[in-house]
Structure 1
């Protein structure tokens, strides 16, 4: 079947990269459906708001350690593998050991964070739960293999791992629900999710005639990777702050029961966030290649990518806004204590527009080498989110957290308008956001 051509992408190139994107989408669609049905509906209904909040709270702390342990290497290693495929073993080996060591180092940091938080606010979540989930940061060192498949434009292997992993995860959690297992088992299941994915990556890597024992660590390469990627690492930490700080602050201000309700909102709203990652990650090699060969095509591809991000995210936001009340009343028909999440979802889902555009422009910043700017704009978004949550959560409850998230994401995404060298990209995103670019294409045909 021939895929229709899209302005800015030549047919042959787009055919290749759309195929890759489609595979990534299949994997993420499977993840989205499983997450919504099992985690958001079945598991939340089984546990109830309070226990669901206790289950979700460890991740609000551990997500920061996971961001630290990743060291911002994934996207940068992908770029290096595209530009220097002959250095595969050294790049993968060095990045793996860097991530593994960083994951180990984060464990005491998690303990300190938990102790500081519990000093100011009593929590029903024991440290044992947090520690179990914290080991995820170590296991995810193997996820560097994903960078290899992205660089090789072989998303089908990522699809295999994601689909198999999520089906296994869903099966395990459903079994635990049917057996009426206590909360601790579901905490262990969170850690086992990371084990499943890591094991899957190892298997598919070896199945493609590669061997992990060929990886080599080299200190000079580690120094180079750290020097280049630390702004991305810090940016990832800031991203985790302004994507999870609302949940941590809800627990502090309102308690675990409200977090249990809010976590269903976040799960539903963010279940679509796989789409920009899938699309952007898949076409990123094409965009990098265009930058080397044809600068006009490079900017056209960026504009088309922004247009696509707005079309998808706007469609999702409109649908979820009108469907939110029906979703909650149908899915939680026996648990009306969750229904208050419906109006919150109708607000939170609009933040997705800025997440989609931010993911796309983030790849532009990587392609141009503006790593520190990426870090700065994320920091601004994190600061805005924290400040707004301090005022909005006590005043408006969990819907205040949703408004704070929406505003913070918008500020972070369009911060590049304030920087002269990236203002052009900000203007391109505005043209997409207000559908100007799409109307121009329609009338110019």
Structure 2
């Protein structure tokens, strides 16, 4: 897979790493199409109230799943780049840590649910639904093999696993719809998705890389991973908080019916978020190599990455804004149509998600994990405060505005931190298309 020519970019470097990125994007595009189409069918089948009940558990357990991962995935990828010969110790240790985290998350989920029911506005979602989906914290521990595939630029195995898994998942859910299954079966189907992916990742590692039985736990490696990954773990929790808290607060203030509508907005708006993750994950080795060998090229690659993020996200936002009313009327039943105008606002948050993903890789490359933590915390706190004020007054539109504002502030917080200010200015140049126009005019 070859990247089309982009004026002003280092084409050889982009083509080299796009071979890996292309596989990732192919996987996510396939997954996107399947998930979105099945999501349309499920929402229309369940209706807005039950669709809200289906989405609430996924938002609720996101914080606990993030905590269970312990932040070791990203750091393990970085360590595998540095010490590929230690893959058995790194992967074996990371797996055990994540398994323990997933198991310990279950009682915390239970306590969290009871706390919400007694001290806040009770949700209509049964505890059993939340606990079932909470089990995915255990199965997702096996996703650690994905870290190896990313570090070694072998994303095609991720592609095969995700596409196959999503095809099976789609078939299962369509069968449930055709057989008029109750909501509980769809809850189990969501957990089943994680099981399929876990088996797929393990299968390809065993077949293409090495014997899983060679993985081993190393106490010193565990200490090293935990001591360095805790800021990333805390950051992941905060990311899930400010990306999911709006859905929980919509349910709390407005009920499951409005959450059902808002969930369709989030699904469509966030369905594009795989793009920056896929690109920056695959290009990360190139960024790290440039940092080590050529500081000037390092800065150039970062600027190119920011430009690419803005160009793609801005295109998506503009197109979605204009087509959302018609799209909702074609895709959803009338009870969901009010989500169209909310989507036209929410989708603009994607620009800051794209830039945030790119600048997040810079923070990791420089070892500024605490700064990543700070900006995420600020975004999460701001999102909660804005939701408290805006949702009661403006409903789900208020939640969309709060999300947009919080993402903007979190992404550009690095502007006020001296050692990251230069990167913030580079992102501003990309945001206002300054560097993109410079590249075009230099042709």
Q: TM-score, normalised by structure 1?
A: 0.97
Q: Kindly provide the CA deviation profile for residues 382-410 of structure 1, in whole angstroms up to 9, marking residues without a partner as x.
A: 00000000000000000100000000000
Aligned residue number for residue 301 of structure 2: 301
Aligned residue number for residue 443 of structure 1: 441
Aligned residue number for residue 60 of structure 1: 59
Aligned residue number for residue 184 of structure 1: 184
Aligned residue number for residue 125 of structure 2: 125
1:390 aligns with 2:388: yes
Unaligned runs of 5+ in 2: none
Of the three residues 369, 372, 382, the one matched with 2:370 is 372
1:361 aligns with 2:362: no
Matches within 5 A, 1:390-409: 390-409=388-407
**Preserved contact between residue 72 and residue 233 of structure 1 (Cα < 8 Å):** yes
**Preserved contact between residue 91 and residue 221 of structure 1 (Cα < 8 Å):** yes
Instruction: Tell me by how many angstroms 1:12 deviates.
Output: 4.2
Instruction: Tell me by how many angstroms 1:209 deviates.
Output: 3.8
Measure, in 2, the Cα distance between the counterparts of 1:264 and 1:292: 44
1:316 aligns with 2:316: yes
Instruction: Tell me by how many angstroms 1:60 deviates.
Output: 1.3
**Preserved contact between residue 69 and residue 106 of structure 1 (Cα < 8 Å):** yes
Please give the root-mean-square deviation of Cα atoms over the aligned residues, in Å. 1.2
Matches within 5 A, 1:191-210: 191-210=191-210
Measure, in 2, the Cα distance between the counterparts of 1:256 and 1:5: 47
Measure, in 1, the Cα distance between the counterparts of 2:144 and 2:204: 13
Q: Kindly provide the CA deviation profile for residues 296-318 of structure 1, in whole angstroms up to 9, marking residues without a partner as x.
A: 00010000000000010000000
Aligned length: 442
Instruction: Tell me by how many angstroms 1:72 deviates.
Output: 1.1
Instruction: Tell me by how many angstroms 1:211 deviates.
Output: 1.5
Measure, in 1, the Cα distance between the counterparts of 2:102 and 2:7: 43
Of the three residues 413, 423, 426, the one matched with 2:424 is 426
Instruction: Tell me by how many angstroms 1:117 deviates.
Output: 1.0
**Preserved contact between residue 8 and residue 300 of structure 1 (Cα < 8 Å):** no
Aligned residue number for residue 170 of structure 1: 170
Q: Kindly provide the CA deviation profile for residues 395-438 of structure 1, in whole angstroms up to 9, marking residues without a partner as x.
A: 00001000000000000000000100000000000000000011
**Preserved contact between residue 8 and residue 297 of structure 1 (Cα < 8 Å):** no
**Preserved contact between residue 94 and residue 222 of structure 1 (Cα < 8 Å):** yes
Measure, in 2, the Cα distance between the counterparts of 1:268 and 1:223: 40
Deviates more, 1:425-434 or 1:14-23: 14-23
Q: Kindly provide the CA deviation profile for residues 260-319 of structure 1, in whole angstroms up to 9, marking residues without a partner as x.
A: 000000000000000001111111111101101001000100000000000100000000
Instruction: Tell me by how many angstroms 1:207 deviates.
Output: 1.3
Aligned residue number for residue 134 of structure 2: 134
Matches within 5 A, 1:17-416: 17-39=17-39, 41-119=40-118, 120-332=120-332, 335-416=333-414
Spell out structure 1 runs of 4+ moving beyond 4 A. 1-12
User: What secondary structure, in the 3-state scheme, does the structure 2 residue paired with 1:121 have?
Assistant: coil
Instruction: Tell me by how many angstroms 1:13 deviates.
Output: 3.4
**Preserved contact between residue 5 and residue 14 of structure 1 (Cα < 8 Å):** no
Deviates more, 1:86-95 or 1:8-17: 8-17
Q: Kindly provide the CA deviation profile for residues 15-72 of structure 1, in whole angstroms up to 9, marking residues without a partner as x.
A: 2211111110000001111121111x10000000110100111111110111001111
Measure, in 2, the Cα distance between the counterparts of 1:137 and 1:441: 45
**Preserved contact between residue 23 and residue 155 of structure 2 (Cα < 8 Å):** yes
Unaligned runs of 5+ in 1: none
Instruction: Tell me by how many angstroms 1:9 deviates.
Output: 6.1
User: What secondary structure, in the 3-state scheme, does the structure 2 residue paired with 1:397 have?
Assistant: helix
**Preserved contact between residue 9 and residue 297 of structure 1 (Cα < 8 Å):** no
Instruction: Tell me by how many angstroms 1:442 deviates.
Output: 2.0
Instruction: Tell me by how many angstroms 1:7 deviates.
Output: 7.1
Q: TM-score, normalised by structure 2?
A: 0.98
CA 1:323–1:2: 2 relative to 1, 3 Å: closer
